[in-house]
A and B are shown apart, each in its own frame.
Chain A
Amino acid sequence: MNRSEAEELLPWFVAGTLDEQEMQAVKAFIDSGEIDTAELAELAFLNESVAVAGAEEPAYNPQLLQRAMSQLDGVTQAPPSDFLDRLSNPDSSSEPDAESAPKGMFASMLERLQWSLTPPLARVAIAAQFALVLGLVVALTLGGQKGGEREEEAGFEVVSGAVAGDFTAAFAATAAEPEIRALLIENGVSIVAGPSALGMYTLDAADDVDEAAVLAALQASAITTFVQPVPDP
């Protein structure tokens, strides 16, 4: 703070309304004699004269309170602000209110579509159209995937849909496709499902092979990391 700034703050120094830091800074200028004491005296007198209600000022009428009290019932009050609400219910701040709580995906979609503003008849029509489209999608999807139907995929003969197998197996990540194919053909098994998210395949053994021998051969293979018979249903 420089002298000019200290002089600007003198009125509030005299009135005693500066914060502690400003008060000390201004006082330092006064103590050092850099601020004119006549100015300080003038402000002190101004403070003294204005702060006290003079004899010429009218008396305060205490009846004003009764007058106001009698009017309260006829006045509609504004609802408490969030600030005052938090003050009255400090715990409520930790609970998310209905407005600010995260909405579910479906609720958000309805809001985005302004569903609540849509007339009732239009809602029925939209719902019927949606059901029709959904039905067509399901029919087309299931129609192309009949249980047990075989498809060629990435060189393997796989079966989509609900199928039962004889073994569950996993192969080393470093194993090449020809190696796996050779192992499977050699032991009379084929992949009927997979790989799953964990890299597991369901294998089906031909009817004329010894399943115990196949299991032993697969377990013995260096490229097989896991193999287990599928339990009978």
Chain B
Amino acid sequence: MSEDDPASDRDIELVARIATGDKRAFETLFTVYGERVFRYAHRMISDVSRAEEVTNDVMMEIWKNAGKFEGRSKVSTWILGITRHLALNAVRGKKLDTMDIDDAPEIADESQSAQAGALDRDRDALARDLRDALGHLSNDHRDVIELTFFQGCSYQEIAEIVGCPENTVKTRMFHARKQLKEILTRLGVDLSALEIAGGMTSEVAS
């Protein structure tokens, strides 16, 4: 937990106030985290109404159990952990639109026609393909990608949210990326074109 992070200090103060029944503090925390929780839940379960239900459940869980917060992790990590738990329950309770990696070849076959134009795709189309491909990953692998790039979590925070060792997070990231490449290749997307299309290497390195 970062002690020097002003957002962390603000969040802890909000949770402390919520624990005493302060509705204004709850409203503030909801405003800060509501959309983030919804997006994370929606990316896990791909169903708007269920994602909204999960968001509501997460926030009510925070209201109910703010008093149990022990400060062992950042508030954001705690909230995302609750979100993940409730979203997984929602996925298990009702098989929604998540797909297993094993289903990917069939989809790839359907997409053969797209193969030829891979290099001509614009960046938006590539991004859309990539997000589609994420939907074919297992929950564990997609989680690591989402938490890293969408939620901006460090690998230590992901380990706390998911409840696994840090090395497992790194291993899952490695396999998730490998599978993504395979899926995208089957979809006819050539990732080697990215360097030409984006020129992001220099941006990142700087």
Q: Do A and B bind each other?
A: yes
B16 contacts A88, C-beta separation under 8 Å: yes
Interface of B is mostly: helix
B59, CB-defined interface residue at 8 Å? yes
Chain B, 120-152, contact with A by CB distance < 8 Å: what is the 0/1 string? 000100111011001000000000011011101
In the bound complex, what is the Cα–Cα distance between A31 and B206 (angstroms)?
A: 10
Query: Considering only CB atoms, which chain B residue lies closest to A58 in the complex?
Result: B48
A64 contacts B56, C-beta separation under 8 Å: yes
A83 contacts B149, C-beta separation under 8 Å: no
B23 contact set on A, CB distance < 8 A: 69, 72
B59 contact set on A, CB distance < 8 A: 64, 68
Partner of B131, one of A50, A65, A81: A50
A79 contact set on B, CB distance < 8 A: 19, 67
Pick from A7-15, A98-106, A112-120, A169-177 the stretch touching chain B: A7-15
Partner of B71, one of A45, A56, A83: A83
B113, CB-defined interface residue at 8 Å? no
Interface size on A, residues (CB 8 A): 54
Partner of B39, one of A19, A57, A64, A78: A57
B100, CB-defined interface residue at 8 Å? no
A68 contacts B200, C-beta separation under 8 Å: no
Q: Which of A31, A48, A75 has the most CB of B within 10 A?
A: A48
B195 contacts A57, C-beta separation under 8 Å: no
Give chain B nearest CB distance to A37 CB in angstroms: 5
A64 contact set on B, CB distance < 8 A: 30, 34, 38, 52, 55-56, 59
Partner of A77, one of B12, B34, B35, B67: B67
CB within 8 Å for A72 and B56 given contacts A15-B148, A38-B195? no
Q: Which of A44, A64, A84, A88 has the most CB of B within 10 A?
A: A84
Within 8 A of B (CB), among A14-51: 14-19, 27, 30-31, 37-38, 40-51
Query: Considering only CB atoms, which chain A residue lies closest to B134 in the complex?
Result: A50
CB within 8 Å for A65 and B39 given contacts A44-B204, A45-B194, A56-B128? no
In the bound complex, what is the Cα–Cα distance between A16 and B148 (angstroms)?
A: 9
Interface of A is mostly: helix
A50 contacts B146, C-beta separation under 8 Å: yes
B154 contacts A84, C-beta separation under 8 Å: no
In the bound complex, what is the Cα–Cα distance between A81 and B15 (angstroms)?
A: 11
B131 contacts A78, C-beta separation under 8 Å: no
Show 16 residue pairs from A and B whose CB-CB distance is below 8 angstroms, ordered by the A residue.
Answer: A11-B149, A15-B148, A38-B192, A45-B194, A51-B152, A58-B42, A58-B51, A60-B35, A71-B60, A72-B63, A77-B19, A77-B64, A80-B16, A81-B68, A84-B71, A88-B20
